[in-house]
Amino acid sequence: MNSMALLVQKFGGTSVGSLDRIRAVADLVKKTVEAGHRVVVVVSAMSGETDRLLHMASQIMPQPDEREVDVLLSSGERVTIALLAMALQAQGLAARSFTGRQVGIVTDGLHTKAQITRIAADRVREALAEGIIPVVAGFQGINEQSDVTTLGRGGSDLTAVALAAALKADRCVIYTDVDGVYTADPNVVPNARRLRKVSYEEMLEFASLGAKVLQTRSVTFAAKYRVPIEVKSSFREGEGTLVTQEDQDMERVLVSGVTGDRHQAKLTVVGVPDNPGIAARLFGPVADAAIVVDMIIQNISQDSLTDISFTVPRSDLPRALGLVRDIAKSIGARAVEVKEDIAKVSLVGVGMRSHSGVAAKMFEVLADEGINILMISTSEIKISCVIEEKYLELAMRSLHDAFELSRDNGGLS
């Protein structure tokens, strides 16, 4: 890090969940400033506040108007920006709060899950030029009608990354309750190791595979504008994980991490007449119902009949099953089978691009443990296998050991 860097520091709900925590954040910002850096702070609502507000709304109306939900929720960050600005001032620092509107965060009109379309950030730049620490409300913006919008889950991270991009900040530091990205979930794999550095693409795979550290949207945004993100703990001092552009060091490591996901269910449409366009007739209505299909496997056709298996989020299974049963009947398929007790184990690593043999080794490791593979899907930097749920922990630990993920591979990943 430069000695005089511009940093965006983002603190989530638990990091500002009490007055003591807000004071601790002010201490942390002060240390950063004393180390010679310029800082822009982005904060979420105090933890619990969003749920409290949503609970009130749901008591008034089961499906409240989303424009009004946004007005309601946006009150939460106003409280934290004001209190944190005060806490910084109490530390003798010049600080000033800004709402999403005041920062000029303009979004589309999709209330409760708006997309950022542009950021002016003039007042943030002015404050920085005056030596004032801007304290910015995350999660919120305004649409073209000048109504407040919110950015949905992980929205404060997105505010921080987008603001870092707009300000051409040297780094966006996301403070959270974990101290970085791990080679595996430490609750499952006790010798999991914190990664010092991962590429945006790896982080995207981790995020889409269920790692809760960063949302896909923020990582995509950071990758597009090449904003280095550091994920670190707001509760403990020390290094975190740097999410940044892929470099040669990263490629020398075959596999960066292993993930497990229990939130899928498998559907198989048995005995489908193997005609052109049959997949479209099957998956079109499923997509229209906003059900995300993850893996799809079509068996080799026998006697002009084929089986099509695919996975959907387990929470969408009842809806998906209803739809798929109707479609199966209409296309003349024989039956629909469901398997819920499945899990997906995945290996992620940019090194796979230039090294072959990872998949073969993965299948071998699982076979050695007697774990049957139900489905396989691969991408350039990821291999996923669907297995029976009861084997998930065993699969993760075996793969973690086999690929020596607890070893710091030359300090590069």
**Which SS3 state, helix, strand or coil, does residue 274 take?**
coil
How far apart are the C-alpha atoms of 177 and 155, rounded to whole Å? 17
Do 405 and 362 touch, CB atoms closer than 8 A?
A: no
CA distance 95 to 66: 32
Footprint on residues 319-348 left by its own copies (CB under 8 A)? none
Binding to its own copies in span 351-410, by CB under 8 A: none
**Least CB distance to its own copies at residue 156 (A):** 16
Distances, alpha carbon 190 to alpha carbons 276, 393, 398, 401, in Å: 49, 11, 12, 11
Which one of 47, 89, 298, 406 is in contact with its own copies (CB under 8 A)?
Answer: 89
Residue 65 engages its own copies in binding (rule: CB under 8 A) = yes
Write down the least CB distance from residue 369 to its own copies, Å: 54
Task: Establish if 79 lies at the interface with its own copies (CB under 8 A).
Answer: yes
Report the residue from 147, 177, 185, 388 that binds its own copies according to the rule CB under 8 A: 147
Exactly one of 8, 28, 87, 395 binds its own copies (CB under 8 A); that residue is: 87
Q: Are 115 and 132 in contact (CB under 8 A)?
A: no
230, 218, 223, 169: which is closest to 38 by C-alpha? 169
Q: What share of the chain is helix, strand, coil (3-state, %, to 5)?
A: 40, 25, 35
Question: Which DSSP symbol is given to 390?
Answer: G
Q: Enumerate residues 6+ apart whose C-beta is below 8 A from 19.
A: 83
CB of 172 to its own copies, least distance (A): 24
The one segment of 69-77, 150-158, 179-187, 385-393 that binds its own copies by CB under 8 A:
69-77
Tell me which H or E stretch contains 392: helix 392-402
Select the span of 78-86, 260-268, 312-320, 391-399 touching its own copies (CB under 8 A): 78-86
Choose which of 8, 29, 69, 167 interacts with its own copies (CB under 8 A): 69
- Are 29 and 41 in contact, with CB atoms under 8 Å apart? yes
Q: Which helix (H) or strand (E) holds 9?
A: strand 6-11
Spatial CA neighbour of 2 closest among 30, 32, 27, 47: 32
Smallest separation, CB 16 to its own copies (Å): 12
- Residue numbers 93-132 binding its own copies by CB under 8 A: 96-97, 99, 101-102
In this chain, which of 5, 53, 297, 394 binds its own copies, going by CB under 8 A? 53
Between residues 68 and 247, which has the closer beta carbon with respect to its own copies?
Answer: 68
Nearer to its own copies, 53 or 321 (CB): 53
Select from 3, 59, 187, 304 the one that contacts its own copies (CB under 8 A).
59
In the complex, the smallest distance separating the C-beta of residue 45 from its own copies, rounded to whole angstroms, is: 10
Beta carbons of 378 and 353 less than 8 angstroms apart = no
> Minimum CB separation from its own copies for residue 225, in Å?
27
How many residues touch its own copies under the rule CB under 8 A: the total is 37
Site membership for its own copies, residue 19 (CB under 8 A) = yes
Q: Which of 205, 354, 162, 349 is nearest to 362 (CA)?
A: 349
Residue with Cβ nearer its own copies (101 or 361): 101
| Choice from 5, 24, 54, 71 touching its own copies (CB under 8 A) | 71
Decide: is 43 part of the binding site for its own copies (CB under 8 A). no
CB 241 within 8 A of CB 222: no
CB-based contacts of 343: which residues, under 8 Å, 6+ apart?
A: 260, 261, 262, 264, 386, 387, 388, 389, 391, 392
146 binds its own copies (CB under 8 A): yes
Q: Please state the closest distance from residue 28 (CB atom) to its own copies, in A.
A: 16
| Least distance CB 403 / its own copies (angstroms) | 49
Q: Does the protein bind its own copies through residue 90 (CB under 8 A)?
A: yes
Overall size of the chain counted in residues: 413
Report how far residue 168's alpha carbon sits from residue 348's, in angstroms, rounded to the nearest whole number: 29
54 or 293: CB nearest its own copies: 54
Characterise 300 by phi-psi region: left (phi > 0), alpha (psi -120 to 50), beta (else): beta
Contacts with its own copies, residue ranges (CB under 8 A)? 19, 22-23, 53, 56-57, 59-61, 64-65, 67-69, 71-72, 74-76, 78-79, 81-83, 85-87, 89-90, 96-97, 99, 101-102, 146-148
